[in-house]
Structure 1
Amino acid sequence: MLADDQLENFTLLHSASLEEAHDLVTGIFCEHRLLPLGRSTQVDYRHWVAALPSIGLSLMKYGAHVRVEPREFQSFYLIQVPLAGTSAVLCNSTEIMTHPGRASVHSPHGAMAMDWSADCHKAVVRIDRAALERHLGSLLGETVHAPIAFDPDMDIRHGMAATWMRTVLHLIGELQHNAELASSPLVVGHLEQMLMSTLLHAQPNRYRERLLAPPQRLAPRHIRQAEEFMHANPSRPISIDDLTRLTGVSGRTLYGGFQLFCGKTPMQYLRDIRMEQARCDMQTAAPTFTVTDIATKWGFYQLGRFAADYKARFGESPSVTRNALPAR
């Protein structure tokens, strides 16, 4: 599909200059370093681009052995699927050798780098962060507050991931054959939602178990009201008395409702929110802030227990998250 095909309904970017290729890719994705890994600085960069409202589709190659080191994406998720050749990807501390059949998934935050082989051709899907998290929220019936946190290693040889990949390639093909497709908001919206839903169900992530679980009964108003208040005010000192005054129900009713609909007490629910906030700060706060500074900011004063709970929840210690902070 890629090599030298004429994709008439896609924008073609092309350059033999490493510097110009860098500038063109920056305009599509984000600022990055582009380094030659061979003796020559010449490339045969070709990049076909189609932009939908929330999803960007690319077919691209550099035609040379290069290293790409982007800054944090921040505003989008990125899925890279080699159609030929290989690409070694380092995503935080995880190294993946991607190839046809094995893709990589990158979240808005975190360090990453990748080496493209000279014969590497990729399909690249860029999904707007706000749109994907909003769509996830609509599937769950709630506002999404924590990052989706996809597993970076994606096996697209079988199952739902293979379905997702075939859907991407089918959409690229349909856009090529019918330029009017992208001008129909109703059709494009449906296609974007299908791609986002399939990705959320196919690729392991923080919310996948909940998406695959049988639908639960809708939580009563007082539970939703307490949840929304805690999400909106995680840094405030909040007690059961505060929540009962807010919701107008007894502490017993509040405890029973949270256990039934959330599987935890109100204070455990609040603690989980603060743990998510602490992780966000671990990933984004200035390097001058220590793990202790961040933990105590969110009310975790027993640092040993905090570190153990953090690792159990996120699969790594707070110090590992902090040490992955990109240089500024």
Structure 2
Amino acid sequence: MEAIRNVLVTDAQGQASSRYRLVASSEWDDIRQWSDRIYMPYSVAPTGRPRRPDSVLDATRIGHFTLSRFKYGIPVHISDFSPAAGTGMVLTTLRGTARHWTEPNAFADTGVGDAFVVDNSRTHYWVDFDENHLQINLTFEHDALAALHERWFGRPADESLWTKKFRLGGANSSWISLLAYVCNCTTEMPDAIGGSPLGRHLEEMIGIHLLTQWRAQLDQPSQATLHRMAPRHVLAAERHIREHAHLAPTLSELARASGVSVRTLTGAFREYRGCTPMDTLREQRLQGVRAELLLAGKGTTVRTVAAAWGYVNLGLFAAVYKQRFGELPSQTLGIRN
């Protein structure tokens, strides 16, 4: 993940670089001026109380793809993507979480290393990003990807293919490996990735990988999570969990933050989320630890990361972590280092 984490903001010598910086601003109009160009026109609004963004956008071209690194710095809801732009996106989560809405009552969540694919010129889509989000995105031109499909697969893609929206990737997936290679090339050979042979090579690799994944969705589509509109106290508890998970709040604290009793809150979570508030908190903490381990710098230990998320018994934590992710936290840290 290091190559992905550092792309567009460090040079080949590992020094900080602003070569690809397009905007760093807290003004919505400044951000929109560039986001409309790099992605497409869309509507964005802060989630919760009104806040000014702390946004940074870096980007470069790889063939017809645009590789970008983007954050708003606050929780946001994004919708009304313009189909007239003729573009789509592959959004890979580098930090934080995102909820990608595929229908009014269905979504797919992405954490660190997960990606989501959507052709905004052919289907509707909206997304919620949390406060800590950081995305490595690839914007593609529909016509270019459609031509690539016809050239490699011998016929035009069925129109239904482009309406499929789906999650792919994961920390050890082929998508992350490919993206890391693309990012390494971008960092090490920045002048050779535009329209050069290397740039065309990367463009073909990315395109074929995405199209292969896309075609598989016709036979075995990913299942979205069905969502029922939860009452306000459930949403308040979820917000408190997102903002304070590292402090390991108690069930009573969650109930107080939600303005209801423990019994009411627990019952609502079971009805609308199919789990308890503490199940949700446990998952948020484990995902937080995993994200930090995957992005950790040299010298970081499992103990220090676990302690920062409120885990005191390291042995018990390691057992719970392995049960959830299929590997020990030390193995996750080893992937990074």
TM over 0.5: yes
- Alignment partner of 2:68: what SS? strand
* 1:16 is the counterpart of 2:29: no
Q: Partner residue of 2:91? A: 80
How many residue pairs get aligned? The number is 207
- Cα shift at 1:31: 1.4
Q: Partner residue of 2:209? A: 198
- Where structure 2 has 5 or more consecutive residues not aligned to the other structure, the ranges are 11-15, 221-337
Instruction: Describe the superposition over 1:146-199 as per-residue Cα deviations: whole angstroms up to 9, x where unpaired.
Output: 25336423231278xx22232223212321222221255222111101111111
For residues 151 and 21 of structure 2, the distance between their equivalents in structure 1, rounded to whole angstroms, comes to 32
Q: Partner residue of 1:95? A: 107
For residues 196 and 156 of structure 1, the distance between their equivalents in structure 2, rounded to whole angstroms, comes to 15
RMSD: 2.6
For residues 71 and 100 of structure 1, the distance between their equivalents in structure 2, rounded to whole angstroms, comes to 24
- Alignment partner of 2:48: what SS? coil
Instruction: Describe the superposition over 1:12-49 as per-residue Cα deviations: whole angstroms up to 9, x where unpaired.
Output: 32111233222321122111111011324211101110
* 1:130 is the counterpart of 2:140: no
Whether the 8 Å contact between 1:49 and 1:58 is mirrored in structure 2 is yes
So what's the TM-score if we normalise by structure 1? 0.57
Whether the 8 Å contact between 2:114 and 2:168 is mirrored in structure 1 is yes
For residues 157 and 168 of structure 2, the distance between their equivalents in structure 1, rounded to whole angstroms, comes to 26
* 1:164 is the counterpart of 2:175: yes
1:149-298 equivalences under 5 Å are 149=162, 151-157=164-170, 162-183=173-194, 185-205=196-216
- Alignment partner of 1:148: what SS? helix
Instruction: Describe the superposition over 1:30-85 as per-residue Cα deviations: whole angstroms up to 9, x where unpaired.
Output: 11111011324211101110113311101111111111113243512211111110
- Cα shift at 1:91: 2.1
For residues 121 and 168 of structure 1, the distance between their equivalents in structure 2, rounded to whole angstroms, comes to 15
For residues 94 and 109 of structure 2, the distance between their equivalents in structure 1, rounded to whole angstroms, comes to 13
Q: Partner residue of 2:133? A: 120
Whether the 8 Å contact between 2:123 and 2:163 is mirrored in structure 1 is no
1:26-41 equivalences under 5 Å are 26-41=36-51
For residues 204 and 150 of structure 1, the distance between their equivalents in structure 2, rounded to whole angstroms, comes to 11
Q: Partner residue of 1:111? A: 124
* 1:146 is the counterpart of 2:159: yes
Higher relative contact order (CA 8 A, sep 6+): 2
- Where structure 1 has 5 or more consecutive residues not aligned to the other structure, the ranges are 210-328
